[in-house]
Each structure stands twice: as C-alpha cells, then as structure tokens.
Structure 1
Amino acid sequence: MTALQNALANAEAQIGREVGVSNWITVDQAMIDSFADATHDQQWIHTDPERAAAESPFGTTIAHGFLTLSLASRFAYDCFETLEGQVMSVNYGLNKLRFLNPVKAGSRVRGRFVLKEIKARNERELLRTNILTIEIEGEETPALVAEWLGLAVFQD
C-alpha cells in the first residue's frame, strides 16, 4: 500500500468527525491595522477606534472578514500533521463561506475542523474537504463557517 493509499484509508474513518481544534489567537488592533495596510482596505470600521466606538453598531473596530478567514492557515498548522510521504499542502479553495459574526478588536478566535470528504485526485494528491468553523471566544455565533479544500501532495 502506498503512503497516499494508507493516508486515505486512515482518513476515511474520520469523515464526519472533528479532526482538530486550534489554539486561540488574539485579533488585536495592530493585526487589523497591518491587514488593512496589506490589502489597502482602510475602511473606518476596521481602522478608526474612536469613530467605530461612536458610530458603528459594534461599539469598536472589527476585523476584516478576510483577515479572519486568512487565519485558517494558522489554525491548520495547529491541527494537521504532515502525513507520511506527504511533501506539501496546497490551499485548493472554498466551496462555501459565510461570515456570521464580526470579530471585534481584542477578541480571541480559533478554528475547529470537521472532515467532510476525502478522495484521491490521482496517485500523488489527496483532496480533503473540511468544514472550518472559526469561533469567537465567549460568543455563541461563530465568526464564519467555510467548506475549505486542501490538497495533500505526496512524493512519487
């Protein structure tokens, strides 16, 4: 049995199960400002704490939705080990994504992964579909829920 076949067989037993919960990350104003600079999205609800406190329905600045989503890669590092024979992982995209709750500056978030599907694309690639929920500490409604696809690439 190849390393890919072995990984596929092991993962199939986990379909429908939670496969990882990441560490918490604090989304502070400095992170939000850095993301705003990198993406050229300087909307005041993200970057102006005084105005956001006075005028926004959130009472403070909030993280960009795409900032929250971008933390998925960090969460994956916490939750997934390199499989035997795997040489890299590649972000393959999203099938579904919903931003459900804004992340206020100073909040802590973490990722929770449930394996939805796994299949071999060819003799070198496994395509994993995970349901990613990014939770906000102390909030009932998560920041987002996404169906995230990733490729595990194996050596020849």
Structure 2
Amino acid sequence: MTYSAELQGTTHKLAVKGMGSPVPVQIDGKTYEVDFSAVDGSLLSLLVMGRSYEADVVEEADGVLTVWVQGETYRIEYQEEGRRPRRGAGVAGHGASGRQVITAPMPGKVVAVLVSPEQEVSAGQGVIVIEAMKMENELKACRPGIIKEIKAQEGTAVSGGDVLVIIE
C-alpha cells in the first residue's frame, strides 16, 4: 500500500511492501526493513534496520496519528494514495486548517497547562505537558489556531486517547 503522510509540514511518500513482520517500508524512495510487535495497548516495539525503538501510537481521528518515540512527540496526518483527501485533513501547501484535537498519547499525569481559553497559538507552540513513563512530554499545536477548550487540569491523571485541548 502507498500513503502520503504529512509530518511537521513536510509531505512524505510511504510504501509498505507486504504484510506481517518484518516488512520492507519505503519512505521517500529509501527502503527500511521494519520488524515490529505490539507490547501493550498502543505501545509498539520496533526494530528498524537493526536499531530498537519503542513507540506509542495513538489514532486521534481518521487519518491522524500521535506518535511518541525516544521522548519526542510527532503528529502525522496520512492518507492512502489515490484516495480523496479526508474532510478537515491538512494538506501541505494548501492552507492546512481546521480543528486540532490534542490527545494524551498514553496514560499519564498533566504537569502543566501552557495556554488559556481563547489564546492564539502558533504552529509548534507547546500547549500542555504530561508526564508518562517517567518522562515529561510537551504536546504542541501542529498549526496556528485559537484555544477553544481545555479539558484537563494540572495534577490530573489522564488515559491514553483522552482529549486534552481543542484548538480551532
């Protein structure tokens, strides 16, 4: 299957060349051998070209993933090649806009809310910090917008997939 995926404002072409594990995955023309297994819930153990990673992958909405790997958080919008773009999905270079729903990628505790309702935020600006697996992770807006709702408060526990902040 072939996909296009937008990551941090750049669109990449991905081709998954089979089923099961290991599987060859081609990203922008370069092929990687990927071996993976589910660990628990959304947590995956990956072996990419002999290098080991743990990744937590949470689907925010149809075609939108939040991925935590090596202490970094990535928001990926994807679609299968040849299909029409999803309604509301951002397309690089075409005025990406629409509602952003920031969700907890895994269970944790909210340690800081960095924004307030009706505050304007820019792309890449931190909006909330959660502690999970003994690491603090700042979740960021992927594009400019206005904070419409904050659903979590400092000190509260959250589950993976819980909606934390809504930006429009």
Is TM more than 0.5 here? Answer: no
Q: TM-score, normalization: structure 2?
A: 0.23
Q: Which is strand-richer, 1 or 2? A: 2
| Higher relative contact order (Cα pairs below 8 Å, separated by 6+ residues) | 1
Q: Which is helix-richer, 1 or 2? A: 1
Greater Rg over alpha carbons, structure = 1
